[in-house]
Amino acid sequence: MNTETWTFIFVTISLMLYLYIGWRSRVEDSKGFFVADRGIPAIANGAATAADFMSAVSFISIAGAVSILGYDGSYYVMAATGGYVLLGLLLAPYLRKFGKYTLPDFIGDRYYSNIARIVAVIAALIISLTFVIGQMRGVGIVFSRFLQVPIEVGVVIGMVIVAFFAILGGMKGITWTQVAQYFILIVAYLIPAIAICNALTNIPIPELAFTFGDIVEKLNQVQVDLGFPEYTAAFTQKTMLDVLFITISGMVGLASLPHVIVRFYTVPNVNAARYSVGWA
């Protein structure tokens, strides 16, 4: 069988697995739908949180930004990592301790203000819609390439699949689906990393390729040959001050993503919320 056939089989099995998990995790009450009965273990919640972030936006866009911008694109990676630090230190444990279902509920009760609650709802909608637009564009691209259909059709297909197990299983179904997705994504990250290292250095283990295979210089040369900046040519398009503030804004932005924050309502207690961030 050729590569395209294997890809079709792999993707089909993955999608069927997601749908099966969503169906098996179906819920019948609001607590199960919104916060997964608050019974998700810390490790599983960490895996689901990581899968939330290792999505179309990061899997496609951050990789593309680093490829095009070289070292200057690394602020997206640093912002992502730093955002989880802010989330773990300043938000996750306190949200879980407060015991509400949503972030606007937390803000409204915390500041005794319905106006603050309304502002939080508006902010959550704007952030969510902006993020979903990027996500669904990525989904449309993936399905259009995979099924040889227009991007618009790919977006609709992706929306139908996501809606099916989201409505059926709620947060419980989504969480366990993303735990499975986490392992699939980790493999998807490792395959090109191993393949590139093996192709450039004949050493399939990335860490050893960096240490003994001189892979950094070879990657730099590939970038130059393609007309892009070297990976290690620092700050060719941005000043260090620009990179600092872009990184900080990215950290704050990631720490405020509603679909990431809501994960910390699904764990049994405050300690589990803290450990979830670490596992993520």
pLDDT digits (tens, 9 = 90+) for 199-232: 999 999 988 988 888 888 888 888 888 888 787 8
In a domain, 140, yes or no: no
What was the pLDDT predicted at 47?
92
Residue 120 resides in a domain: no
Closest CA to 172 of 5, 71, 35, 274: 35
Give a yes or no: residue 65 inside a domain. Answer: yes
- Residue 35: its pLDDT value, please? 76
Higher pLDDT, 100 or 63: 63
Rounded CA-CA distance 150/105 in Å is 40
Per-residue model confidence as pLDDT tens digits over 104-117: 888 888 888 899 99
Residue 236 has pLDDT above 80, yes or no: no
77 within a domain of the structure (yes/no): yes
Q: When comparing pLDDT for 238 and 180, which is higher? A: 180
Q: Going by C-beta distance under 8 Å and a sequence separation of 6 or more, which residues neighbour residue 261?
A: 87, 91, 92, 95, 103, 255
Does residue 137 register a pLDDT over 80? yes
Checking if the pLDDT of 246 tops 80, the result is yes
Question: What's the confidence (pLDDT) of residue 102?
Answer: 75
pLDDT at 23 over 80: no
- Is position 260 within any domain? yes
Higher pLDDT, 75 or 22: 75
Q: Determine the angle formed by the axes of helices 270-279 and 42-53, rounding to 10 degrees.
A: 50
In the chain the beta strands, taken as DSSP E runs, fall at none
Domain of residue 247: give its range: 15-103+170-279
Distances (CA, A) of 108 to 54, 67, 111, 165, 229: 31, 42, 6, 30, 47
Ramachandran bin of 269, using left for φ above 0, alpha for ψ from -120 to 50, beta for the remaining angles = beta
Judge whether 224 lies within some domain.
Answer: yes
Confidence band, pLDDT 50/70/90 cuts, at residue 280: confident
How many structural domains comprise the chain?
1
Question: Radius of gyration (Cα) for the chain, nearest Å?
Answer: 20
Averaged pLDDT, 167-187: 84
